[in-house]
């Protein structure tokens, strides 16, 4: 069986060589095809790189929002009203609430739910 396997491997190599030669002949007949294939390859790689950059940017946004949420909670721990936090930070009420929820969600997942200054925005519509 060793000789049969070797013979099959030799046939496979010969076939691969013929395929490569046929491809080269075809590309010589259509030189624009090679340029097109290169453009397609480059565009495909550009998409992959851009998507990786997008994922990194999304993580940076998440990290920044977590840091902002923690800072907002520190401001609220100083007994500032939410509207004072809004004025100091330039953030709107919806953003402050969303970031506070993010901080609350983060704390809930860490079994640290009571540390978010709950009730600090009582009376804010």
User: Quick one: tokens of 78?
Assistant: 């100083």
Rounded Cα–Cα distance for residues 78 and 81 (Å): 9
pLDDT for the residue numbered 28? 82
So what's the pLDDT on residue 107?
66
pLDDT value for 105: 74
- Strand runs (DSSP E) across 1-125, as ranges? none
Question: What tokens does 75 get?
Answer: 């401001």
Where does the pLDDT of residue 42 fall: very low under 50, low under 70, confident under 90, or very high at 90 and above? very high
- List, for residues 64-116, the tens digit of each pLDDT value: 999 999 999 999 999 999 999 999 999 999 999 999 998 667 666 655 444 44
Q: What is the mean pLDDT of residues 20-31?
A: 84
Phi, psi of 24 (to 5 degrees): -65, -40
Mean pLDDT of 10-28: 89
Which pLDDT band, with edges at 50, 70 and 90, does 122 fall under?
Answer: very low
Q: What is the value of pTM for the model shown?
A: 0.56
The phi, psi pair for 110, rounded to 5°, reads -100, 15
Number of H helices and E strands in the chain, helices first, is 4, 0
Question: For residue 119, what is the DSSP state?
Answer: T
């Amino acid at each position: 069986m060793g000789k049969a396997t070797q013979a099959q491997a030799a046939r496979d190599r010969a076939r691969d060589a013929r395929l490569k030669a046929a491809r080269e002949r075809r590309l010589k007949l259509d030189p624009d095809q090679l340029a097109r294939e290169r453009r397609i390859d480059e565009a495909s790689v550009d998409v992959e790189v851009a998507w990786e950059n997008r994922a990194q940017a999304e993580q940076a946004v998440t990290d920044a929002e977590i840091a902002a949420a923690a800072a907002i909670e520190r401001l609220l721990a100083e007994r500032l009203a939410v509207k004072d936090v809004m004025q100091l930070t330039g953030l709107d009420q919806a953003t402050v609430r969303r970031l506070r929820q993010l901080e609350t969600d983060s704390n809930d997942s860490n079994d640290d739910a009571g540390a978010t200054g709950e009730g600090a925005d009582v009376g804010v519509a």
